[in-house]
Amino acid sequence: MLLNGRKFDIRSYVLITPDGSIHMYNKSYVRTSSRHFSLEDLSDRSTHLTNDAIQVKFDGYGAFEDSNKLTMQQLQDQMGAAINIEAAIIPQMQECARHAFAAVQDKLNPQKHSMTFELYGLDFMIDLSGKVYLIEVNNCPALYRHGQILTEMLPLVIEEVAQKAIDGI
């Protein structure tokens, strides 16, 4: 699925706490590409990759939205009635995350260290029928506050990490 002719994905955060519990942060955000989608040049990273490490290098960065970011509500507003983000997309994202971490549960803390935690960045795409795909799990997600959306959201993510992973120790 494209958003106004451009590729996008959804970034969400998952925390694994010291007791091994999995917590998906309740807010996600949308990352967009700087150029309209085309299969003409598959090497054009500004068209095909949405992460900031790539996008900030291109002149079109921020031309469509602040720092190429949208809130989930802004995504819903642009999609209209075609797909209900809250009822259809979020539950699929949660299910994908559960399956992904269940598949590697024994490998997350192989030395069985106590008092460890990990924050992961999960990236999702949506197809035209509204099916969600987990495309990447990052064990070291960038936490740069590019733009207003991340400036507001990331401190809350870190606060929740501290509350769930550290305060209980």
* pLDDT tens digits along 65-96: 999 999 999 999 999 888 899 999 999 999 99
Pair 145, 151: CB distance under 8 Å: yes
Query: What backbone torsions phi and psi does residue 77 show, to the nearest 5 degrees?
Result: -60, -40
Continuous H helices in the chain? 45-48, 52-55, 72-79, 90-103, 147-161
Q: Which contacts of 125-130 are long-range, i.e. CB under 8 A and separated by 24 or more positions?
A: 125/1, 125/8, 125/9, 125/10, 126/1, 126/10, 126/83, 126/89, 127/1, 128/1, 130/82, 130/83, 130/88, 130/89
Full-model pTM: 0.91
Give 58 or 32, the one with higher predicted confidence: 32
Q: Which residues are registered as beta bridge partners of 22? A: 16
Domains of the chain with CATH codes? 6-166 (3.30.470.20)
